Each structure stands twice: as structure tokens, then as C-alpha cells.
Structure 1
Amino acid sequence: MLTTLLRAALGLLLVLLLALLTGVLYVRSQTLPQLSGTLKVTGLNAETTITRDRYGIPHIRASHDEDAIYALGLVHAQDRAWQLNFQRRIAQGRLAEVLGPAALEQDRFLRTWGFQRAAESALEALSPQSRQLIAAYTAGVNAGFALCKTAPEFMILGYRPEPWTDVDSVAWSKLMSFDLGGNWKQELSNWELCRAGGVQSLTGVTPPYPASGPTILSVDELPATAPAGPGKHPAAYPTAACPADLTGAHLGELRRQLAAAQRLGMEFEASRSSNNWVVSGQHTASGKPLLADDPHLKLQSPMLWYLAEVQGERLHAIGATIPGLPAVVIGRNERVAWGVTNHNPDVQDLFVLPPDAPVQTRQEIIRVRGGEDVQLTLEQSEYGPVVSPVGGGLQGEELAKSTRLALSWPTLMNGDTTLDAFLGVNFAQNWDEFRSAMRHYVAPSQSFVYADVDGNTGYIAPGRVPVRRGWDGSLPAPADAQHRWTGWVPFGQLPQTFNPADGLVVTANNRSVPQEYPWPLTNDRDWADPYRAARITERLQGKGGLTLDDMAAVQNDTLSGPWREMKAALLSTPRAGLSREAAAALDRLSGWDGELGTDSASATVFEWWLAELKAQGRQTFGQEPSTRGVAVALAAGGALCGPTASQTVGSSCTGLLARTLEAAVQQAARRPYGEVHQALSTHGAFGEIQALAPLFNALIPAPGGSDTVNVARPDREDGTLHFTHAASYRQLIDLSDPDASRFTGSLGQSGNPFSPHARDQLRGWAAGEYLPMSTDPADWGRTRVLHLKPVSEQPAP
């Protein structure tokens, strides 16, 4: 009897496994694109080839630039159809149409800010050449949509993507600008701190950038100032009272919008941004420059970036593209290489509008799958969109009598020609052409490092940076004549240098200019902590004979700068009264070298201890302090350490240190770092659905931590130290031998979880390895070739 039941159970299991396998094979057959052979497509001028290497990276060869960009659109659609469509729906505020009521708050936020409307105005401002290339890209995407059978996400949700439009390519750049510019969030946080403890309470969360901290430019590299600037931001926050005419309704509405943005993976953090640097030939073994870049962004599935080579008649670039954009965003062409990090000047301001301020209103309808349509009344002021109160805020007559908050931000203003800049960079052949392209750059302001095959190096931080006179933009400001923007920092006065004498430019979201710079960029507390910039500079400055291997070692550096700064304070924790486990952990830390490797148990204790200290800061201030905010408090005593804090660690912080160490040890329990510290890449739609998350999300142990060069700041949630922001892309470029250059993404080329290229870069990325960034077929390994042939459009019968 038992044998019969066992056989029946095994038989049922076999049937279920067979059904599962059949389902998987069916989904694969319906969703994986054609990667070899011949395809006849409309909208192409001449035959074009797409050769995918062993990692699925396409190498496009065309005789026309428009055809090359067309093919880029087609491969984006083949490999990332869902990503294209999801990004487009985010920009449009149309997620609820396919995801239902759960996405309604996101749509409210996106419609309120008006990203799609801003994209429509930006498209009109672009040059004819850019419009032509964007049109070619659109045709390629739509050809890809027509050829692709579907994507797994479309099968699950039961719909197919709408045709791509030119404005869709501009719209995603607007969302990237939001992700890379969070000063409105900082103003909101400052406002909350100010309400709770006065202006002076701001210092405990984000101390000023240290006077000894590295700056990107030195004094002798500053541009000549003519005419003189209006004066830099003050080094300290203003001493005036906090804004009194803001209410809980404003605060609640903006917090809802911030929560909606966070659910979309859009949350700017200066400490989670990026590194890049360039060293001239005076420091390298080859005598030619080396350039490195690794933008730190939200880890997502599929990954944000799509690696590609694009060659047409004049265009020949290779590097990281973003599905939806018709250009190589970070990379090189045959003569010029560039890298990008976030500059983060203060380009956003919340203005308090008086009740009688004139506004224009418009009505929009949000379609909701499985629910009733929602009508929004949206307002536009002369300062920008009215972002509070709306939706869940005040209504009717009460709204008419209340103050409103409007947002000023170059990204949402007319005349954004940033795509002209990125397309121009792809064609640039020297510094003059590169800099000329940068003149069209609007937002988000970025730190570009530059190198070329002639041996030149450079740096420039383009973009529209508003000029404020007599105020610093750290708190919401009244909408009056005194607080209006009075123009932009002139292009020639923006931070920039060409062939600096020391042959080194390092950027890590640190302060870009010394105190002598006469133009307002941002408050001293808005720069990222200097740990990464200091460590990169330490490893490169004054060195000679540098190679790409040296650059890779720096890019993957995991020595903890915060540990080096806090070590003395942390190790001063008295052993008396500690548990046996905590005392043992403290002893191990005393001999720890500060390397945040996956095998280290001390790394686990330290990062958890730091997380506990920040959690204490959240309880004390209402917000989590920066890493340096913790370090400064431990060094000098302060509110973080308790009400009896004085100027000595021993008398003010010992209780805090002991308490947080005990909490950290309870969690760490001698576990190796890689067991609890893992990179989590999440899917935008299905990442939190238990049944689908294992298929669409990715998780892998990885080194690094808070403010290491190889950034992997733990989020400390669900009993882990998993992290969701890191180096989303890495590149190393050798201008003496460009085809010896290297790059890698964080997951893989395909967004289809059933593709062999969905995650085939993940393990190498976590281990600090790279792929060949080569235009030479000898470096591509096994290839598949797809031939695109033009066909005339046939009239409908």
C-alpha cells in the first residue's frame, strides 16, 4: 500500500515538473527574440548588421548614422521591451492602467510634477539633427516591438506595448534628472528638523563639508571670474527662524509624494552616487590617459544600463546606453572618452505661494485597472508646478485660502536641450567639440571627466545652476521679489579645467570647488561625505606607471574610510559591563584592517554598529544622520550621544557606544559579511510579489559598504545588511589602446529572466571583474549575427 502511494506521489510530482518545464519552454519560445539570420524591416536606409558577442552585447554596423541609431532602438526593444514600456508609463503617470489601484499614488505624484509635459516642451527645443536621430530611434523601437513576440511581464499582465514616440525618449531623461537631484527632499528634511528643534538642529544630521576635505578643482584651476560672481553660499545655515506659514497638510502631501517616488526606486542620496577620475599620461605606464567611471544608482532588474557599440557613417561609440535614449551615455568613441558622476548643485527650490498667487489649472484623468477613473486638478504657477497641497491635501474653499508650495527646477522648464549635449558628445573628436556639446546641457548637472587619444584630459560640470542673492536655498522660501532666481551661473564660470598641471581629476560627489569660488553652487552641507574622494586621491596622487589593473583595484577598493575615522572612538567603548560576545567583538575589531570583504566577521559587526548608531540618530533628530554626522558626534560629543553630552567622548558617548554595540552583536553573531551583506536588484513591478520575486529579482553576496570606493551601503532591513544602491556600471578606458578598455553592468543585457543573458554579468560584477570594451571582433568570443534589410512600406490592401 505504501509503495503504491509513493509511486502515485512520484508520478504526480513528475507530471507537475513536466508541466512546469513545458510552461517554461513555452514562455521562452514566446518571448525570446530572434538574434541571428535575416530580418526585413521598414524605416531603414541600407543593410545593417547586429553582432551579439558571448554576453549578448550588440555591435552595430551601419553605413548611415540614422540606421545605427535605428538598430540601437531595435535591440533595446528586443532585449528590454518591458523596461522601455514601464519607464514610459512612469514618465506619463500611467502605471495604474496596468497595475491597478496600488499604483495610484505614484501616478498622482508623477502627474503633479508634470514630467511628460516637460518632455514634450524639451523635444521641441532640440536641434534638427537630434530630432532626426530620435526619429530613427523611434522607428527602430517600433520595429523591435513588431518583431518581438512579447515579454514575460506583458504575458502576466495581459497587454502589449503601445507604439513608441519621439517624446518618450526625452521623458525618461526627465526621470533620471529627478533620481539625480534631490534638493527638494533636503529642503523638506531641513524644514522638518527646523520645526522640531530650530535651525541649529540641522547641524547634527549633516555637518558642513570639512575644510580639509578634497575638492575636485584646486584654487589655481578655477575659471577667471569676469564679471565677478554674486558670492558663494554661506558655510552655515541661515540663523533666521524656520518658515512659519507651512502646515502639516503641506508636509503630509510632500511625504506621500516622496514615498511614491521611493516605491518607484527614485530616491536621491548624495552618499550613494558615483565615482569617476582621469589620470594623465604623466602618471601612466603607457604615457596616455586612463579614465574610470562607476555611477552608483538603484540596483534594478533588469539593470538600468544596456552595453552596446554603435557605428554609422560618422558615429562610432561604445559604452553604456539606457533603453529609451538614442545615445551612448557613458563611454568612448574612436578619439574621446568620458565618464559621468552627479555634481549635485542646488537647482531645486520650494516656494511658498500666498493664497492669492495666480495659478493655471488643468484636469487630467488617471485610468485605474480594476477600479474607477480618478480625476486630478493640477496647478501651474509662475515658479513651476504646485506640488502641495494636492490630492490628499486641502480642497475647495479651504484650498483657495491656503498657501501652496511650488517647485522651481530647470528640468521642468522649457528649453531643455540636454539630449543635444549627449548626442553631441557621441560625435565629439576633441576637447573643443566636447565642451561645445556641453553648452547645450541643462539638467541634471553632472561632473564629466574627459580624455582623448592625443593625451589631453579635462573636467567640466555643465548645467543650469540658478543664482540666488542673499539666501541659500536650504529651506522653503517665500515667493517674493527677494527670493527670486536672478539667472544662471554663466557657462564659462561653471567648474571646469583642461589639462590640469597635476594630471589628476577625481570626483566622488564631493565638493567641486574650493571656498574661493565666487558663484553659488550649494550649501556646504549638501556635498557627499569626502571618504570616497579622499581614498581615490590617496591611491592615485603622486603615483607613476599606472595601468588599467591599478584602476580596477581602485574602483573595487573596500577599505572603510569611516572605520579609519571612527576607530579610536569606537574602540574606546569600556569593556566593563559588556556581554562576553560584545567584548570579544571589540577585541576582534581592535586588530581589524578595515577591509569590508565578504569573509570578514568584523566587517559585519562594524557595519551593523554604524547602522545602529544611525538608527539612534533617527530617534534623536527624527532623521538618519550622515556617516560623517555620526563620526563628528563621536569625536566631539553632541546631541546624538545624549542630553549630557560634553566635549569628550568618554563622558558623553560611552553609554551610546555600549548600547549600540550590544545591539549590533546580537544581529551579527559572528556571521561572515557576505552572509548578510548582499546586492539586491529588484523588479519594478513584481519585485515585492512573493510568487514572482525569485524569478525577477537577483541577490548575491558582495563586498564594500558605507562610503567605500566600491560603495555598497547597507539598508539594514529584515535582519540583513542587504544593499540596493551600488556601482550600476563600471568602465575603465585606456586611451593608448582603446580596445583594451573594460566595462561591465550589474546583471545582464536581457530583461527576460528566461534568457541566458539575464544575469550572466552578475557574478563577475560582484567579484570586481570586467568584460572587454572592444570594437575588435577578435575579443567578442562566440557571436550571433542578425542582418537587417530595408523593405519599403506596403500600402494597406
Structure 2
Amino acid sequence: MFRFLLGQLFGRRLSTGTGTMCLPGLVGKLIIRRDRHGIPLIEAEHDRDEAFGIGFCQGQDRAFQLEILHRVARGSVAELIGPAAVPVDRLARRIGFYRSAREQLALIDSDLRDNLDAYAAGVNAGRSIVPHEMALVGGTLAPWDAADCLAIAKVLSFKLAANWDAELMRLKVLTSDGPDALRAIDHTFALSGASRESPLFPASPGAARPPAIDPLGALVGQAVDRLAQDMMEFLKWAGGGSGSNNWAIAPTRTKTGRPILANDPHLDASLPSHWYLVATRTPGHAVAGASLVGGPVVLAGHNGHIGWGLTAGLIDNTDLFVEEVDAQRQQVRFGSGWQDCRVIEETIAVKGASAVVERVLITPRGPVISPILADTPQSISLCAVWLQPAKVRGLFTLSKARNWESLRTECRFWPVAAQNLAYADTTGAIGWQMIGAAPLRKKGHGLLPMLGADPEAGWYESGLPFEELPHRLSPSCGWIATANNRQPPEGQGPYLGSDFIDGYRATTIAVALESRHDWDIASTMRLQMDQYTAAWNELRPFVLALEDVPPELRTWDGIASADSRGATVYELWLTSMIRRVAKRFAPKSWEWVVGKSLTALTPYNFGCFRRTSHLVGLLRTQADAWREEMQAALREANHSLPWGEVRQLVIRHPLTRAGGWLGWLMGKMFNLGPVPCGGDADVINQAAVLPLAPLAPAINIASMRMVLDVGAWQNSRWVLPGGQSGNPLSPHYDDLFPLWQRGEGVPIAFTLEEMRTAAVATLELSPRAPA
């Protein structure tokens, strides 16, 4: 009814899919065919027009999503939404996503710059029809430029950096509950004063020891609290991130003798999807797969020679520093003196109110991201590899690679979000390469904020050489897999970080891949839907030893399916125990221990994804000491309804988080769900819940699934939890959602013959002659 009303009031606003157009910005003719799911199949005469075509199609289908993405990156959401979005813009201006992107443009190669310019021109041309959201909120679409693509990549890097928010969580525990509490809830620490260790772990696993804490607690106080307050609106517009799965199976383990590659990135449940399916073809290049909205690059797909897919690598590439700012707010302390800072005054336009001026202070380490307060000299600065001017290629140019060697060459320059890149090619090779710049620290391991005034803190000018990043090619076991777990094992290789996610998903994948030699596309897609929680195998003996264990749990098989009553009892027991452990060790800061976001950049901090393994470790050594708590948690978890009924899934439009009448109306018009949902944070088919709110809708899901039949590409499948279009009146707004729920997918035409056969609509674009 609400969507019908939307159409009656504002029209259907469907984009043009057939006919001809003459547009500025094109070099030659461009043919855009659409298949029955609205997936564009682009044929271009020039590589530059390929990028234009992707931008044009995304502009047609995702106009408002693109608007929000680049306004978040630029810090101009308040111009569209009003005063409620001022904190979002303040943060974005202080961090400087767009400012950094403009500086980086001067360093990128000309071919990439041409593609980014063409993509932006395509976006601007494609957004000729004003989307429904703009009609509801008012305002005009702001034009795109090449820097927006880089800025959005930096926002994603910020969200997927799994350490800096954990640094603040640790600092909160340290300042609120003391060093013993931090030692108890975080096994990565040995509290022995300031660390003087090498920035790399010792080569010998036996010689490795955990990093130490610099006790900065008394210095931060209000700066941390105000930083949290200023960021509370960011999630509504930027969204959150979590993890992903990918794996590659060698020909020796498949039914066909061809490699198989699978990928399912986990992001917040948002509509329209984070991803956009597309295929492109030029005389010298072709690619098919899933692109992230906001750029002309396929991040999970193939080019006819190689296939690839990504998971977050979680390299610790950000550090926080406590800065002492002088009274004039122009310098910060360094050693016994002061260092000059770059000072910028940013003017933020606000809809319905006066403009706001944000004074930005950029220290030699990086921008001050906390408010500079009149009543305290302490502020917090952010040092990040993705804010530093550097050449970038990597995922932007990955589709040009034809083999393992050329892929590694393209990936040498990727100073953005670190990724685990799974690889397979038509020769039968499979591989894994971690990509992303990793800093070398002069002191410590970046697990807590350091003192900016300390001359011995900070990073060396050169980071870890690309050659030292872990990688494997065609291992003898016949498979590779990553799931945001530690890669390689602790104590082996260079130090890349400590804030990786529990390895339960990785374990389940590894056990499955090792178990058979007849994998095919169907069985691989079934594995992506697996809901077995490996943590239950470790926790079962402790639970079954308790009194009055409900029969649903006593006979439970560990599969957290939507129709399982045992899963309900287990999930409620587990989250209750995680809360109880945190409350005992850190009574003042326990909420942050179990995932409360100190910053609200995401709905959680990454520490929440290590709580299960922490609980397992406690019970293995201290089960008797926790028996009473386990028994109480079991009584609390007594619930008779299936897991999918008590915890459901709602895929939300970002404007629904605005609250008030607008948020309510947007939810009615744009959301999908609620629908029953199984899974948890530890299963392959992730649908994570927070210990703070275990019955709230799932916070992260498989935002896209892909399975590649390498060499027989026509058998490959993709799916989104929604559809290609962001227009709720389009048939392609949610037509892929039932397939996503069932674990099915759709092909993407790749050859020119396949494109022509699959086409149900064709639009021809030609260059507009100069006036």
C-alpha cells in the first residue's frame, strides 16, 4: 500500500532501458543491454567508456545511494538532511576523506584517473531522473567527480579497520576498571609498562610474546567521551562492516577438474544492496561480477582468465595518538617542544539552519578526530595508511591481470582497506594474497593509543614491503580459505595486528573443504548457506554438565537454523554468559567489552567477535568457578520458540534510521522484512547478533554471494539480498531476495553472444557532438 501511494504521489520514476541517447563524456558508441534481472551487460568501443557505462548504470539504478555515499565522504549530509546530520559532517571533515582523496588524485596513474573521471561523468549523466527519496526530503543531487571514488574507498577503510575502535574500547576498560580488568578480558596483553619491542614479532614462534600497554588512561577523559558523542549519527549514513568468507578449491578436489572460487562479503543489512552486478566488454578487456556502488571496479568476479573474491584482511593499519594541544589550538606537544599543525576551517552547509564552521587540526601524525575542547588540552589524532598520499592501483585495476604474477603486480599499490584476495585461474592454479599497506611501528603494537608527544612512538617512513605480505599459490592440500581469522598463525611471519575475528567460520570451512574431492557449484553454494556453529562443539561438554538442560539443547546438533529451538536456547545462553563474564571482570565498562561501540561508527566494536573464544578459554581452565553463572544463564535462556521467530531479519533503507515520521515512512516504503533468520556470528552463513541485544534483528549478513566455475564461467552464480535497483517501484528492487534466502543465484552473461541472448532491453549511447 505504501509503495502504491509513493507511486501515486511521485510517479514510478523508472530509468530508461531502451532506445538511443547522445551524451557528453563518451569517446565512442556504448551499448547497454539489460538481462531479466536488470543486470547491465555493457559493450564499449573504448576502455574509458567502459567506466562511463558502469557509472551511468549505477546512476540510473542507485541515484540516492550514490548521493548519500559521496555526501558522507565529503561531509555534506547536513545540507540535505538538516541539523541532525551535523555530527556526521563534522567527523567527515575532521578525518578528511574527501580532502585526502583530492590530494591522492595527483599521484595516481593516468589510465586510472581517466577511468575515475569517466565513471563520475557516467554517474552524473545517469542520474537524470530524480529518485523518490530526493522528492521526499527535498534538495538537489550534487555532481560527482573522480575524487569521490577514492573518498568512498577511504570511508570503507575506516569502517573495516578492526583496531582503532578496539583501541578505544581497551582504553575505556583501562581507565574505568584498571589494568587487571584489561588483562582478564583481553589475552593479547601483558601489562608490563611501555613496550619497547620491535614492530615485528620475533621470527621464532617460541620467542614471541604479547605486546604491552602504555597506561594513558588519565590523559584522555573527556576527549574520548566527546568523540563518542560527536560520532553517534555516523552509522545512520555510513553503515557498518563485519567480515566475509572466501575460498578456492583446486581441480583435484572438484567434480569437473576445474577450480571453484566462492565469496560472500558480510556487511550491514542495507537496501539497496552495497553491491551492483555488471558485465562489461571492450575490444581488449572483459569482466563480469559484483562492483561496490561508488566505483568502476568489479571486486568479486572474473575476466575470462582469472577469478577473484575478497574478505577483510584486518591488518592493523590505523593508530590513535593522544595529543596535547596548545592554548592557541595551532600546535601539539612533541618531546620538550611543540610541532606546528595544519589548520583548516571547513564550512558546513546545514539545511534549514546557519552554516557551521569546523576548525580542523592536522598533526604530523594525522588529523585530530576528537573535538578540541576548551577545558582540556588532550585530543585524539588518527594515523592511517589510507589517509596518506600514495599511489593506488590494486583493486581498481585488478581486472587487467591475466595470471598470478600480473595480479600480484597490480596489488603492490593498495593503501586502502586490507583484503584477503582469493584467486583461481583457467590453468588450474589457486592462490591467496593479502593486500594492503601495513605500517612498521617504532614502538609497541598499536593496541592502545600512544602519546603523540613521545618521539619514540609513531611509524617508520617506509612500511612493510609487499613481498613480506603473506601469500600462497596452489597449496598441496588443494584449497585455500579465509574468514577474517588470523593469517598466518600467531608468531609466524610479520606482525600484522592482533584484532582478528574468532576462527570458527574458518574452521567450519576448512573441515568441509578437506572432507571431499567432488565439489561442484551446487555443493559449494550449499556450503555458503551452512549454519553449523563450531563453537558449540567446544562449549557442549560444559553446558551438558549443568542441571536441568532443556531437551531442545541437549539434543541440538549445533545448526543455528531458523526453525531450531535448540539454537534459541544456545544463543541466549551464550550471549548471557558473555555479558556475565564481562560484568565480573569489568563492571564499569562491560558494555564496551561485549561490543558496544564507543564511537558508533559501527553498531559494535570488533572486540565482540572474540568473546566466544574468550569464554571457551575461561571454561577450559576455570569451569568450576563459572558453574553458578552458567546455570543462571541457562535458566535465563529458557525459551520455546524457534530461533528464526525470536530473532528476525530486516533489511533497512538508510533513511529509516533518521527517526521520526521520515524514518517511519521510509521503513514502510523501502524496507524488506521482517523475515525469519537463522545463523549467528560464528557460522558461514553469518547473521550476527550482539551480546547486548541478542533478539534484535541481525546486524550483518552475506551482502552478496558468488560462486565461480573457473573456465566454464557460464555456470557461475551471483545473488544479492535485494535487487539491482534502488527504486522500490522497479521489478528489480527485490527480485533477487527470494533467491538469496534459498541460497540460489543468477548467471551474468560474459561473452558477446551470451550478452545478446540474455538481453531483454537495449539502450545505445553515442557521444554528443560539441556545441
TM over 0.5: yes
Q: 1:320: which partner in 2? A: 290
The separation in 2 between residues aligned to 1:347 and 1:791, in whole angstroms, is 43
- Residue 171 (1) aligns with residue 151 (2): yes
> 1:445-524, aligned counterparts within 5 Å?
445-479=418-452, 480-486=454-460, 487-523=462-498
The separation in 2 between residues aligned to 1:240 and 1:628, in whole angstroms, is 19
2:449 aligned partner, one-letter code: P
**In 1, are the aligned partners of 2:223 and 2:380 still within 8 Å (CA)?**
yes
1:250 is displaced (CA, Å) by: 1.6
1:721 is displaced (CA, Å) by: 4.1
- Residue 602 (1) aligns with residue 566 (2): yes
1:573 is displaced (CA, Å) by: 2.2
The separation in 2 between residues aligned to 1:63 and 1:446, in whole angstroms, is 32
Q: 2:41: which partner in 1? A: 59
1:663 is displaced (CA, Å) by: 2.5
Q: 2:215 aligns with which of 228, 233, 242?
A: 242
1:48 is displaced (CA, Å) by: 1.9
SS at match of 1:679: strand
SS at match of 2:360: strand
Q: 1:685: which partner in 2? A: 655
- Summarize deviations over 1:488-524 as a string: whole Å, max 9, x none: 111111111222222221101111013453422112x
The separation in 1 between residues aligned to 2:208 and 2:646, in whole angstroms, is 39
**In 1, are the aligned partners of 2:648 and 2:698 still within 8 Å (CA)?**
yes
The separation in 2 between residues aligned to 1:628 and 1:349, in whole angstroms, is 20
Q: Compared with structure 1, are the counterparts of its residues 710 and 780 closer, same or farther at alpha carbon in structure 2 (3 Å cutoff)?
A: farther
- Residue 346 (1) aligns with residue 316 (2): yes
- Summarize deviations over 1:624-646 as a string: whole Å, max 9, x none: 444653454466459xxxxxxxx
> 1:111-150, aligned counterparts within 5 Å?
111-145=93-127, 148-150=128-130
Q: 2:747 aligns with which of 772, 784, 788?
A: 772
The separation in 2 between residues aligned to 1:126 and 1:608, in whole angstroms, is 50
Q: 1:97 aligns with which of 54, 79, 82?
A: 79
Q: 1:42 aligns with which of 6, 13, 24?
A: 24
SS at match of 1:772: coil
- Residue 185 (1) aligns with residue 160 (2): no
> 1:125-524, aligned counterparts within 5 Å?
125-145=107-127, 148-207=128-187, 231=202, 237-240=210-213, 242-268=215-241, 272-355=242-325, 356=333, 357=338, 358-390=340-372, 394-395=373-374, 398=375, 402-417=377-392, 420-479=393-452, 480-486=454-460, 487-523=462-498
- Residue 784 (1) aligns with residue 760 (2): yes
Q: 2:195: which partner in 1? A: none
**In 2, are the aligned partners of 1:302 and 1:747 still within 8 Å (CA)?**
yes
**In 1, are the aligned partners of 2:538 and 2:616 still within 8 Å (CA)?**
no
- Residue 694 (1) aligns with residue 668 (2): yes
1:664 is displaced (CA, Å) by: 2.4
The separation in 2 between residues aligned to 1:389 and 1:74, in whole angstroms, is 39
The separation in 1 between residues aligned to 2:86 and 2:200, in whole angstroms, is 45
The separation in 2 between residues aligned to 1:690 and 1:363, in whole angstroms, is 36
Q: Compared with structure 1, are the counterparts of its residues 229 and 655 closer, same or farther at alpha carbon in structure 2 (3 Å cutoff)?
A: closer
SS at match of 1:546: coil
2:122 aligned partner, one-letter code: G
Gaps spanning 5+ residues in structure 2: where? 190-198, 326-332, 595-607
The separation in 2 between residues aligned to 1:627 and 1:696, in whole angstroms, is 30
Q: 1:216: which partner in 2? A: none
Q: Compared with structure 1, are the counterparts of its residues 156 and 629 closer, same or farther at alpha carbon in structure 2 (3 Å cutoff)?
A: closer
**In 1, are the aligned partners of 2:39 and 2:277 still within 8 Å (CA)?**
yes
Q: 1:756: which partner in 2? A: 731
1:134 is displaced (CA, Å) by: 1.4
- Summarize deviations over 1:324-376 as a string: whole Å, max 9, x none: 20111211111010111011111111112344342221111111112222111
**In 1, are the aligned partners of 2:31 and 2:42 still within 8 Å (CA)?**
yes
**In 2, are the aligned partners of 1:41 and 1:790 still within 8 Å (CA)?**
yes
1:20 is displaced (CA, Å) by: 8.7
Q: Compared with structure 1, are the counterparts of its residues 105 and 318 closer, same or farther at alpha carbon in structure 2 (3 Å cutoff)?
A: same
Q: Compared with structure 1, are the counterparts of its residues 516 and 716 closer, same or farther at alpha carbon in structure 2 (3 Å cutoff)?
A: closer
Identity %: 29
SS at match of 1:704: coil
- Residue 713 (1) aligns with residue 688 (2): yes
1:780 is displaced (CA, Å) by: 9.1
- Residue 615 (1) aligns with residue 589 (2): no
The separation in 2 between residues aligned to 1:781 and 1:704, in whole angstroms, is 38
1:52 aligned partner, one-letter code: R
SS at match of 1:440: coil
Q: 1:24: which partner in 2? A: 7
Q: Compared with structure 1, are the counterparts of its residues 63 and 207 closer, same or farther at alpha carbon in structure 2 (3 Å cutoff)?
A: same
**In 2, are the aligned partners of 1:207 and 1:629 still within 8 Å (CA)?**
no
1:181 aligned partner, one-letter code: A
1:723 is displaced (CA, Å) by: 0.4
**In 2, are the aligned partners of 1:702 and 1:766 still within 8 Å (CA)?**
no
**In 1, are the aligned partners of 2:175 and 2:218 still within 8 Å (CA)?**
no
2:497 aligned partner, one-letter code: T
> 1:63-102, aligned counterparts within 5 Å?
63-102=45-84
2:268 aligned partner, one-letter code: K
- Summarize deviations over 1:152-198 as a string: whole Å, max 9, x none: 00111122212221111221111111121131101101111122333
1:103 is displaced (CA, Å) by: 0.8
Q: Compared with structure 1, are the counterparts of its residues 485 and 590 closer, same or farther at alpha carbon in structure 2 (3 Å cutoff)?
A: same
Q: Compared with structure 1, are the counterparts of its residues 310 and 252 closer, same or farther at alpha carbon in structure 2 (3 Å cutoff)?
A: same
SS at match of 1:790: strand
SS at match of 2:48: helix
1:461 is displaced (CA, Å) by: 0.8
Q: 1:660 aligns with which of 630, 633, 656?
A: 633
TM-score (norm 2): 0.89
1:569 is displaced (CA, Å) by: 1.4
The separation in 1 between residues aligned to 2:526 and 2:534, in whole angstroms, is 16
**In 1, are the aligned partners of 2:704 and 2:721 still within 8 Å (CA)?**
yes
- Residue 560 (1) aligns with residue 528 (2): no
**In 2, are the aligned partners of 1:204 and 1:629 still within 8 Å (CA)?**
no
- Summarize deviations over 1:689-728 as a string: whole Å, max 9, x none: 1122121222232322131011111247888342021111
1:189 aligned partner, one-letter code: M
SS at match of 2:129: coil
**In 2, are the aligned partners of 1:378 and 1:386 still within 8 Å (CA)?**
yes
SS at match of 2:60: helix
Q: Compared with structure 1, are the counterparts of its residues 736 and 248 closer, same or farther at alpha carbon in structure 2 (3 Å cutoff)?
A: same
Larger radius of gyration between Structure 1 and Structure 2? 1
Aligned length: 723
1:737 is displaced (CA, Å) by: 0.8
- Summarize deviations over 1:655-707 as a string: whole Å, max 9, x none: 22232223222xx3x21222123222222223441122121222232322131
- Summarize deviations over 1:395-423 as a string: whole Å, max 9, x none: 2xx55xx2332111011111151xx2223
The separation in 2 between residues aligned to 1:181 and 1:627, in whole angstroms, is 14
Q: 1:5: which partner in 2? A: none
Q: 1:219: which partner in 2? A: none
Q: 1:533: which partner in 2? A: 506
1:317 is displaced (CA, Å) by: 0.6
The separation in 2 between residues aligned to 1:229 and 1:251, in whole angstroms, is 29
- Please, what is the CA RMSD of the aligned residues? 2.6
**In 2, are the aligned partners of 1:745 and 1:761 still within 8 Å (CA)?**
yes
